[in-house]
Structure 1
Amino acid sequence: MVDKNTLRQVYLAKRLTLSPPEYNKRNRLLADKLIEYIDFVQVRFMHIFLSMTDKYEVDTFTIIRIVRELNPDIKIAICKTLPKGELSHYILNDRTRIEKNKWGIPEPVEGEAADIEEIDLVLVPLISFDKLGHRIGYGKGFYDRFLKKVPHAKKVGLALTPPLDTIEYSDEMDVKLDACVSPFEIYEF
């Protein structure tokens, strides 16, 4: 049996083997599936991560653009990493200044604070996921701690790869997804 850290390393490496045309194709298909799955007219406040496209994470910048075209009234929150594994949340608007942090993650350096109690949809980053709704993230627990604070919000993972059958090393700290959207299929848990 392989531990989570090994799976994390293997699937990060696999993601980096995608060719640029394949990466772009998967992002287009994923965005189409997401729009098919989520009725963005019904969403009032969405939380989304800003992707590290140089590490071939899901291209969330395109998703943000599409969501704004579909529903310009939707509020969008993004996050910033804080010490001790916490996230702070900001409303994404024209005044939000974004820079890459020490891990290369784009995040706000200043902006309007977001009230996470209002969030009704969270689009969750991941490296891999399984058919039961467990995910492998980057291993710091930032999103698991955040997701526990928004039990009322729908939690949807975004993945460029198909699921594993099962991730053996899930524990009580891990928060399961409600669904995961990939370029290939929509998975509900």
Structure 2
Amino acid sequence: MENNHKGDFRKSCIKKLEFIGLFSKYYKNKVIVKKLEKFIKVSESKNILLYIPLGIEVDIKPLILNLRKTKKNVYVPFMQGDSFKIVKYRLPLYKKRFGIKEPNNSSFKPRKLDLAIVPVVGVDAVYKRIGYGKGMYDRFFDRLSYKPTIIFTQLVLCKSEKVLSDNYDIQADYIITN
């Protein structure tokens, strides 16, 4: 059972994110996508885990489309059990649990990830991820035998002054926000 502070913090961050105006959101998305593109170019990452955005998350669909035109391998989560596996991003997308869209399941073995771009609801004092409370990303990274570079994205930074995370919560190498 999660501690109340974490749950309350999650709720307040979601409220803050839902309250961003459309124009502001459009602008913030553009700025963040540009920063991500620059990071990917400089880091020379080839195998990249992205996500298919929900309404309060950074809309990285333009980034996905741009990367697919280059020689990058774009992967996204495919929910499976208590976590997910990664699949190659391809259309069409289908709406699944929690309103999350996914491509079809595929059984190939992806290459080692260089970079993972992960949406957050908030971060705590030690920059560990506060997500939606399902623990899917935590379990996924815990089960990897290596650690790719992890970037958290968020439209506006929602950071707690307290440590709310558990030892299994993932931590970012970088946070890109507006």
Class of the TM-score when normalised by the shorter of the 2 chains:
0.7 to 0.9
Alignment check: 8 A CA contact 1:4 1:169 kept = yes
CA RMSD of aligned residues (A): 2.2
Amino acid at match of 1:75: N
Q: Secondary structure, in 3 states, of the residue corresponding to 1:3?
A: helix
Structure 2: give runs of 5+ residues left out of the alignment. none
Aligned to 1:166: 161
Aligned to 1:76: 74
Instruction: Name the % identity.
Output: 22
Alignment check: 8 A CA contact 1:121 1:153 kept = yes
Name the count of aligned residue pairs: 175
Alignment check: 8 A CA contact 1:51 1:60 kept = yes
Offset of residue 9 of structure 1: 0.9
Q: Secondary structure, in 3 states, of the residue corresponding to 2:86?
A: strand
Q: How does 1:112-151 map to 2 (within 5 A)?
A: 112-116=106-110, 118-130=112-124, 132-150=126-144, 151=146
The 1:161–1:2 alpha-carbon spacing in structure 2 relative to 1, beyond 3 Å, is farther
Aligned to 1:102: 97
Structure 1: give runs of 5+ residues left out of the alignment. 184-189
1:62 corresponds to 2:56 = no
Q: Tell me which stretches of 4 or more aligned residues in structure 1 moved more than 4 Å.
A: none
Offset of residue 132 of structure 1: 3.0
| Cα distance in 2, alignment partners of residues 88 and 105 from structure 1 | 14
The 1:137–1:166 alpha-carbon spacing in structure 2 relative to 1, beyond 3 Å, is same
> TM-score normalised to the size of structure 2?
0.87
Alignment check: 8 A CA contact 2:125 2:161 kept = yes
> TM-score normalised to the size of structure 1?
0.83
